[in-house]
Each structure stands twice: as C-alpha cells, then as structure tokens.
Amino acid sequence: MKIFVYHTPELTPTGEIPECAIAVDVLRATSTIATVLAAGGEAVQVFSDLNELTEVSEQWPAQKRLRAGERGGGKVAGFELGNSPLDCTPELVEGRRLFISTTNGTRALKRIEDAPIVLAAALINRSAVVNFLLDKQPQSVWIVGSGWEGSFSLEDTVCAGAIAHSVWRKTGLPLDEIAGNDEVTSAIALYEQWEDNLIGLFHQASHGKRLLRLECAEDLKYCAQTDILDVLPLQRQPGILTSHNAY
C-alpha cells in the first residue's frame, strides 16, 4: 500500500486515478457526513453547485430529505442546515437523505468521485478508515485535503497524518515503504507534534479562527475528537455516500 497526501483537490495529479481515494474536510464537511450516517441518515449526496442541489433534492419527498448549504463558514439562506455536525441529531436525520454543498469539502469529493473506492474521513472516524485500509489493502491511496479555497489547511493535513500514522504503526512497515510522497511524512510529523492537543491546533488554524468568529467553538471541540464514531462513509454512486455497514 502506497499512501499519497494532497493538501487540496487542485494538487492531485491530472489523468490519474488511485485504487482508493479519501476526502478529508475536518472543519467540517466530512465530520458532518460521518455524523449524519452514524445517526441513521439514509445517505449523503454531495454537490458543488447549490442550484443543482436544490433541483435534485426537489425530486425527493420533503419528509425524506434535508438540505445543507454552507458558504464562507455560514449557513446558506433557505436551507435547513449549514455545515455543523452538532445539528445532525438522530431525531432529525434518521432515515433521511442529506443533500449538501459546502465551500471546500464537497469539491474534494467531486474531484475523486471516479476512483473505484471513495471514502470520507475525519478525525472522529479515523479508526474506521484505517481498519478498512488494512482489510482491503488497496495498492494506491490518495488522502485529499479540502483546504480552504485552494490553499493549505492545518486541520485536513493533521487528519491525513493521523490516518497515515495509524496505518504505518499498525503494519509495522518502514515509513518509506508506505509514503508515496513527501507530504505523507510531513503530515505524520504534524500529527505527532499535535496529537495530544488537536483542539489547540484548530485554534491556530485559519479556518478554525474563522469558525470561532462565527461562534462555532463547540464544532471545533467535537471535530477535534479522534475515533469516536465507528462509521465509514463509502461512495455507492458518484456523489452519493452511505455507511459501509449499511449493506
């Protein structure tokens, strides 16, 4: 297994498709996706375009759908939800499909949707992702951070490092046998420096500061937790993710 880390969707190699691709948007899209599926959501369908989301979701009965829209960290007017995982309670989401479009995370998922295996990862479901990789042993794995509008983000890189670090330690292989690019080694180093204070790192991160200004401190606390959800969002059709254990 060779792991490659890309800090943003734009940095992934063109014309290449890995065996397994993992989208990461810790603050907050992939954390929200994992939370929805863990709470009993039927599926999560992702969109880059808000108008397309509205058009497609209109084909579903109102009682079976939820629409989540986020731009710049804030909720889009006219949508039931923004991008806070804390709003995705079992009472609200169970049995319903979440239609979601966010500033960054859904763009990463759209970039990798042609890969044979597509997963959504966050710190909260890191162990489920790692266990899947160890079980399936895909030859090539891309961990694609969402970043912020095309630029590097600390929180996505530390999550990529957390995944790679766990795979490395659990396989017992030399790091150079696992790391497909230098970004893997640097992501692991970032994780090792901050693994005992991830919330502190989030407070250093530019998007973390943006969310704090939007009074989303509780979101940061939630998303900074590691391995609290045993759920694996897996793409079943392009742009549609369900829990791996749902079938």
Cα of 200 vs its chain's centroid, Å: 20
DSSP state string for 157-197: HHHHHHHHHHHHHHH---HHHHBSSHHHHHHHHHHHHHTT-
- Name the average pLDDT for the chain: 95
pLDDT tens, position by position, 171-206 = 999 999 999 999 999 999 999 999 999 999 999 999
Closest CA to 9 of 114, 124, 84: 114
Give a yes or no: residue 25 inside a domain.
Answer: yes
Give a yes or no: residue 155 inside a domain.
Answer: yes
Give a yes or no: residue 245 inside a domain.
Answer: no
Give me the number of domains the chain comprises: 1
Query: In the β-sheet with 117-121, what is the strand arrangement from edge to edge?
Result: 2-6, 140-145, 20-24, 117-121, 233-237, 240-243, 43-46, 97-101, 65-71, 74-75
Closest CA to 125 of 225, 246, 5: 225
Question: Using CA atoms, how far apart are residues 98 and 76, in angstroms rounded to an integer?
Answer: 15
Write the DSSP symbol of residue 245.
Answer: G
Give a yes or no: residue 138 inside a domain.
Answer: yes
Give a yes or no: residue 244 inside a domain.
Answer: no
Question: Using CA atoms, how far apart are residues 74 and 83, in angstroms rounded to an integer?
Answer: 8
In sequence order, which ranges of 58-125 are alpha helices (DSSP H)? 90-93, 105-111
Per DSSP (E only), the strands in the chain are 2-6, 20-24, 43-46, 65-71, 74-75, 97-101, 117-121, 140-145, 233-237, 240-243
Question: Using CA atoms, how far apart are residues 11 and 16, in angstroms rounded to an integer?
Answer: 12
Q: Above pLDDT 70, what percent of the chain?
A: 99
Give a yes or no: residue 118 inside a domain.
Answer: yes
In the predicted structure, residue 101 carries a pLDDT above the cut 50: yes
pLDDT tens, position by position, 24-72 = 999 999 999 999 999 999 999 999 889 999 999 999 999 999 999 988 8
Task: Report which secondary-structure segment, H or E, holds 223.
Answer: helix 217-223
In the predicted structure, residue 77 carries a pLDDT above the cut 70: yes
Give a yes or no: residue 175 inside a domain.
Answer: yes
What is the signed CA dihedral for 234, 237, 240, 245, rounded to 10 degrees?
A: -30
For 37, the domain range is 2-236
Closest CA to 110 of 146, 86, 160, 68: 146
Confidence of residue 102 (pLDDT cuts 50, 70, 90): confident
39: domain CATH number is: 3.90.1560.10
Give a yes or no: residue 35 inside a domain.
Answer: yes
In the predicted structure, residue 89 carries a pLDDT above the cut 70: yes
